[in-house]
Structure 1
């Protein structure tokens, strides 16, 4: 009990010392990144009407996630070469530049370039937030500070779509991005005054030889996502098939290259091996992350075009998924270990059930059913994800447990990037290659979900194998 009291955060003392304000500022980077990431969900329908190119909708998500993955891997390492403060200022300026490009984009390709730049800046801000906590605050209060950061993620997840919807309803989508230009500049200037002291103003390099940066590994991932996304533009059977095959081969190369340099590895060894709990857990994360992108990417466009649903209503539906994720995570957080198996399986079945329900409810325009499916899917993630992460980390060798814990969000982002790129192929093959209309939206509505049934089944199988291994103690 004494240890627990000693490790409790004294928020008044933090405020008096200035550390609380410093922590709030650091957390702003996560809020900027995640709100920008989710705001585009409800902005896209209006954006497509202004810039056309509905064929490129999936790219808006894929390139942002891709930039975030690359910058997330690079952000922490850069502080070994330049100071934390300088790195954070640079990240905020890159983020602001990306938002400016998006706000002023005359066409979709320029907008996508802005999304990539904003993703690079936002991903770096997130990585630097975690580095800052480790470097600037006492170890005893890390758990509490990371808990606050998790809450900030949740706030951004359900506020982003609503913010986008409000800008579309009452102003223009361009002002949504313009707002982030200003916030990024404010963050860059504020960092110069808030981040002081040697820990923030000097590079952290203890004289050891630094591991090489994984240029080839991340480059192969970037090339793979771009190839898959390109396969969905200007659908031609031979060309699109070759590009898709090349993209899938590139992902295989990505995992091979990642395994070659343990010092900079993004995933534990044998990350997709179905014979191990780690492999089954990461497979489950990959399958469900990839399979559930369709509603976030195309749901608002299809609902507005096919059924005339308002952008604010679609925003509330998407927000309900995030709320269900957060609420169910809290509800099951204290479950005893012997309940893990049933919770993970129920969560996996809920995710798959939500996907199956969308395949009927979205074409039918049944809003209560769509809302139920969103809650079902989000709640499934909220139930399963904490325990999946715990099982993966516990099953990994001691030398790989740190990598295993970071591999879950990395795989989740990778799945989102690949999923957004691949659902562009499905949408364009199903009708959007002929433009945006009620007729083409009707053709797209069901296939966006049916096409991912095999991946949902794979996720359920991986969940069953994961919990079976866990219950038998087989690691």
Structure 2
């Protein structure tokens, strides 16, 4: 970390009496910026989860059933563009201004959505919000690299993970209460009101922050990369929308969109990522593999419990709640033990996902009680909590001030693309096996996510560079 980063007068990693550098992420030096950044992550997570709960109400009130799916797929697609722009902005300029721009777009999207009189305008607000949300995550990753000493990276990323998971426990319930008693618009406008104090905590820590030193800048490739990002966003959107199509389009659409997505993805990632080259490329690839395995399977967990076991929706949600809790706890624990090797965290993450997929498939095939699903999915949450934050740590370890934005953007992009590809693949298989009835569609969907888990096992050892 260069000496001209934030507060160069203090040595990075200086230890205070508590034994942690500068007192830890909640020590005097980092307390408010840590709280502020985690608050921004939590607000973004709450909004994403809240929309799922209140979208039926919004669609009914704005007569927008035709745009229901697009309201979810659109923001995910355009977030890729936001990630690329924020990464380039951070590397060639200043991550502080990248954060200001991303938060401004995020807030503008909330305002448009909250005041929208029609469904098309609401979707437009969601697109603006998705653009800002994608940029926000990348800007925060770069700020972590510039503000915190490396030894604190596991702890702040653990905080980010907890800030994302905690809203999953209460967010849908709170959003439903607000929509029923105050109005769905206040789900968006209320989040908007909380952005200002969150930013107020982060801004002081960024004073004096500058971009890369002269001679360290990345070559100016912004416009071509943004063009590839736009093409990738379109391909992701087509991939998502055609996954539920019928006939020839059900197969041809995803195949064509998938090929285009991979071609557009390659220039946005470190060289060798799609080939699982050892080191940083495999770290970036790992993010897409674990995201695809976990988030695609998660979609079918409550559906399995409701349709096959006839449990109530709140009871089915227990599996997701259990995974959220174990994810948060495991993230906190790995942050408290930075000496835990990256190889061990990769093994634990892969093992957690393997146990989860095995429990899901076994439950369907052998008629095991639904408690097995809850327990297995809780194990998957623990595995993700250990591994997910470490991927951010490894990315920053292999980055310089000149490419922290590019690499952070790549990490977020593979997250989104891995999830999208896995969701499309599981949807195709689930639909194709539908005529067989019973639990076979679920077995097929979980078999697809298990392929991603195999990739996690194979890729794990390649994340660390060979020692000379």
| TM-score normalised to structure 2 length | 0.72
- 2:82 paired residue among 66, 71, 81: 71
2:261 paired with 1:251: yes
Provide structure 2 residue ranges, at least 5 long, that are not aligned to the other structure: 1-10
Asked if structure 2 preserves the Cα contact closer than 8 Å seen for 1:359 and 1:446, the reply is no
| 1:52-102 C-alpha deviation (Å, 9 max, x unpaired) | 999987755543333333213223544789987776555445324434565
Task: Judge which range, 239-248 or 290-299, deviates more.
Answer: 290-299
Residue 106 of structure 2 corresponds to which residue in structure 1? 95
Separation (CA, whole Å) in 1 of partners of 2:116 and 2:305: 25
Q: Larger helix proportion, structure 1 or 2?
A: 1
Residues 464 and 72 of structure 1, relative CA distance in 2, 3 Å threshold: closer
Cα deviation for residue 144 of structure 1 reads 4.3
Residue 212 of structure 1 corresponds to which residue in structure 2? 222
Task: Judge which range, 166-175 or 223-232, deviates more.
Answer: 166-175
2:113 paired with 1:119: no
Residue 239 of structure 2 corresponds to which residue in structure 1? 228
- 1:147 paired residue among 127, 133, 155: 155
| 1:372-391 C-alpha deviation (Å, 9 max, x unpaired) | 12112112223444566677
Matches within 5 A, 1:323-342: 323-331=325-333, 334=337, 341=343
2:123 paired with 1:129: no
Separation (CA, whole Å) in 2 of partners of 1:444 and 1:103: 41
Separation (CA, whole Å) in 1 of partners of 2:31 and 2:39: 12
Residue 16 of structure 2 corresponds to which residue in structure 1? 5
2:165 paired with 1:157: yes
Separation (CA, whole Å) in 2 of partners of 1:388 and 1:470: 11
Cα deviation for residue 415 of structure 1 reads 1.1
Cα deviation for residue 280 of structure 1 reads 5.1
Residues 320 and 242 of structure 1, relative CA distance in 2, 3 Å threshold: same
Task: Judge which range, 57-66 or 103-112, deviates more.
Answer: 103-112
Residues 448 and 309 of structure 1, relative CA distance in 2, 3 Å threshold: same
Separation (CA, whole Å) in 2 of partners of 1:13 and 1:230: 48
Cα deviation for residue 168 of structure 1 reads 2.7
Residue 380 of structure 2 corresponds to which residue in structure 1? 377
Cα deviation for residue 395 of structure 1 reads 8.5
Query: What count of residue pairs does the alignment treat as equivalent?
Result: 448
Cα deviation for residue 229 of structure 1 reads 1.4
- 1:450 paired residue among 444, 452, 456: 444
Cα deviation for residue 228 of structure 1 reads 1.0
Matches within 5 A, 1:210-359: 210-213=220-223, 214-233=225-244, 235-256=245-266, 258=267, 266-274=268-276, 276=278, 281-300=283-302, 303-304=305-306, 309-331=311-333, 334=337, 341=343, 344-359=346-361
Separation (CA, whole Å) in 1 of partners of 2:347 and 2:423: 25
Residues 36 and 149 of structure 1, relative CA distance in 2, 3 Å threshold: farther
Separation (CA, whole Å) in 1 of partners of 2:83 and 2:467: 33
Residues 132 and 282 of structure 1, relative CA distance in 2, 3 Å threshold: closer
Cα deviation for residue 28 of structure 1 reads 3.0
1:226 match: secondary structure = helix
Asked if structure 2 preserves the Cα contact closer than 8 Å seen for 1:42 and 1:314, the reply is no
Residue 435 of structure 1 corresponds to which residue in structure 2? none
Asked if structure 1 preserves the Cα contact closer than 8 Å seen for 2:165 and 2:328, the reply is no
Task: Judge which range, 62-71 or 181-190, deviates more.
Answer: 181-190
Separation (CA, whole Å) in 2 of partners of 1:344 and 1:81: 32
Asked if structure 1 preserves the Cα contact closer than 8 Å seen for 2:242 and 2:249, the reply is yes
Separation (CA, whole Å) in 2 of partners of 1:271 and 1:132: 24
Asked if structure 2 preserves the Cα contact closer than 8 Å seen for 1:358 and 1:370, the reply is yes
Cα deviation for residue 447 of structure 1 reads 2.3
Residues 160 and 384 of structure 1, relative CA distance in 2, 3 Å threshold: closer
Residues 125 and 454 of structure 1, relative CA distance in 2, 3 Å threshold: closer
| TM-score normalised to structure 1 length | 0.71
Residues 447 and 174 of structure 1, relative CA distance in 2, 3 Å threshold: farther
Separation (CA, whole Å) in 1 of partners of 2:206 and 2:345: 46
2:272 match: secondary structure = coil
Residue 176 of structure 2 corresponds to which residue in structure 1? 168
Residues 200 and 174 of structure 1, relative CA distance in 2, 3 Å threshold: farther
Cα deviation for residue 394 of structure 1 reads 7.5
Cα deviation for residue 215 of structure 1 reads 1.6
Separation (CA, whole Å) in 2 of partners of 1:340 and 1:312: 36
Provide structure 1 residue ranges, at least 5 long, that are not aligned to the other structure: 259-265, 432-439
Residue 262 of structure 1 corresponds to which residue in structure 2? none
Residues 184 and 91 of structure 1, relative CA distance in 2, 3 Å threshold: farther
